[in-house]
Amino acid sequence: MTGEAPATGAPRIVPVDAAAVLGRCDVLATFTATPGMIDRAYLTPEHAAANAATAGWMEAAGMTARTDEAGNIVGRYAGATPDAPTLLLGSHLDTVPDAGRYDGPLGVMLAIAVVARLAARGERLPVAIEVLGFGDEEGTRFGATLLGSRAVAGTWDPRWWELADADGVSLFDAFHAFGLDPSRIGDAARDPGRIAGYLEAHIEQGPYLEETGRALGLVSAIAGARRFELTLTGKAGHAGGVPMERRRDALAGAARAVLDIERLALELGCVATVGMIDVEPGAANVIPGEARFSLDVRAETDERRDGCWLAIQNALQETCRDRRLALAIEETHSAPAEQPDPRLVAAVREGISAAGDDDPLVLLSKAGHDAMAIGATIPWAMMFIACEGGVSHHPDEAVLEQDVAAAIDAFEAAVLAAARRHA
């Protein structure tokens, strides 16, 4: 008998089918900073509301729930023995601004559905299971990404405490406001020696599963992204008075930079995105003196990505020379490409096969995932679920209920296979 096993007379486990999983994603979509769109960032009131709802669903699935030292919500389902290692399942609950409802939350809700099945059967595995709803994967509030999963991996960087959001609130102060103690962040880290691995289910965010008529796919690796904040500084001045040939217009320089970035990414087989731009002082009758913009670069290999970034830097320097602008570069995120663990990949393959596809499509993920942060210290594997038109980071994100039903079956079988392989 373990100290964690549910007391006799514990409430009946609520079954969670695909429709219920989708309904829970709909509920999470209502926790937003901006009415009319889904917008849920790390350590915000909406994050707290998403954690609270998720904790309720975890408890209904027979788990104990707690918020960890990084603000992640964690549900635990005890193993067959008190000393059983822990298999982690999860994904993230934060979103980009104007997000869809499945990028992240679907993986957390699927994991809870799998535990609900085990608990309904009263089945205890040779591993304990913990479902993690990570608080920050997207990195939209503080610039650095994957903060929740990096805390769990034990790769937290103390320099992040000074990162500030758009209102100037530091990560350190945001921790306090959320009821967390920054000095305890190390306690969120999991001892890899006690962890059997990490499995994540996530929408594909690309078109290939749908195009090949498949519900599920297997992830071969996750491309590593680098992100930068780039600032071009020229000279502000009167929109009427300063002759065109004498201007040092920072936004015109940034416009050329954006097109160079697009051209170089295409030429070099990478993906590169400028997703944010701010102009100072920002008035219709003032020449922009400063343009600050983001850059996100990814590729199949770190070498290819870094080569693209080098070419982009050269182009930026040329633009700045031609236009008499100053260039400042700050790297806000860097992650190497991550490879999954072959034994866990085999477990996910077995899971997809149990759901009816013996020859699953194997896909490189160019999107980032919590698994890549976890992978610094813990073996992982991932399963993809088809999404309509490959659309993601957009409110039109959609999945088919029948695919979600297949995903629950496959993820359950993958968890059982991983537990068996570990034993």
Binding site for Mn ion (CB under 5 A): 103-104
Q: Given the complex with ligand GLV, which of 79 and 375 has the nearer CB atom?
A: 375
The nearest distance, CB 84 to Mn ion, in angstroms, is: 29
Q: Given the complex with Mn ion, which of 107 and 288 has the nearer CB atom?
A: 107
Measured between alpha carbons, how far apart are the two ends of the chain, in Å? 19
The nearest distance, CB 183 to Mn ion, in angstroms, is: 29
What residues numbered 350-389 form the site for ligand GLV, per CB under 6 A?
A: 367-368
For residue 181, give every residue at least 6 positions away whose Cβ sits within 8 Å of its Cβ, in sequence order, or none. Answer: 69, 175
The nearest distance, CB 119 to ligand GLV, in angstroms, is: 30
Beta bridge partners of 129: 77, 87
Q: Given the complex with ligand GLV, which of 366 and 421 has the nearer CB atom?
A: 366
Using CB under 6 A as the binding rule, whether residue 39 contacts ligand GLV is answered as no
Query: Using the rule CB under 6 A, which residue among 68, 69, 94, 138 binds ligand GLV?
Result: 138
Which of the listed partners (Mn ion, ligand GLV, none) does 368 bind, with a CB threshold of 5 to 8 Å by partner kind?
Answer: ligand GLV
The nearest distance, CB 95 to Mn ion, in angstroms, is: 7
For residue 336, give every residue at least 6 positions away whose Cβ sits within 8 Å of its Cβ, in sequence order, or none. Answer: 224, 302
Question: What's the CA gap between 95 and 323, in Å, rounded?
Answer: 37
Q: Given the complex with Mn ion, which of 210 and 296 has the nearer CB atom?
A: 296
Rg value, the chain, Cα: 23
Residue 329: count of CB within 10 angstroms of its CB: 12
Q: Given the complex with Mn ion, which of 294 and 353 has the nearer CB atom?
A: 294
Q: Given the complex with ligand GLV, which of 103 and 290 has the nearer CB atom?
A: 103
Q: Given the complex with ligand GLV, which of 42 and 77 has the nearer CB atom?
A: 42
Which of the listed partners (ligand GLV, Mn ion, none) does 104 bind, with a CB threshold of 5 to 8 Å by partner kind?
Answer: Mn ion
The nearest distance, CB 135 to Mn ion, in angstroms, is: 13
What is residue 7's three-state secondary structure? coil
Question: What's the CA gap between 118 and 57, in Å, rounded?
Answer: 14
Q: Given the complex with Mn ion, which of 20 and 108 has the nearer CB atom?
A: 108
How many residues touch ligand GLV (CB under 6 A)? 3
For residue 381, give every residue at least 6 positions away whose Cβ sits within 8 Å of its Cβ, in sequence order, or none. Answer: 197, 198, 199, 200, 218, 219, 340, 341, 344, 345, 347, 348, 371, 414, 418
The nearest distance, CB 368 to ligand GLV, in angstroms, is: 3
The answer to whether 314 and 264 have CB atoms below 8 angstroms apart is no
Q: What is the DSSP string of 384-400?
A: EE--GGG--SSTT----
Using CB under 6 A as the binding rule, whether residue 200 contacts ligand GLV is answered as no
Which of the listed partners (ligand GLV, Mn ion, none) does 20 bind, with a CB threshold of 5 to 8 Å by partner kind?
Answer: none
For residue 200, give every residue at least 6 positions away whose Cβ sits within 8 Å of its Cβ, in sequence order, or none. Answer: 89, 90, 91, 107, 369, 370, 371, 380, 381, 382, 383
- Tell me which residue has its CB nearest to ligand GLV: 368
The answer to whether 182 and 349 have CB atoms below 8 angstroms apart is no
Q: Using CB under 6 A as the criterion, which residues of the chain lie in contact with ligand GLV when the complex forms?
A: 138, 367-368
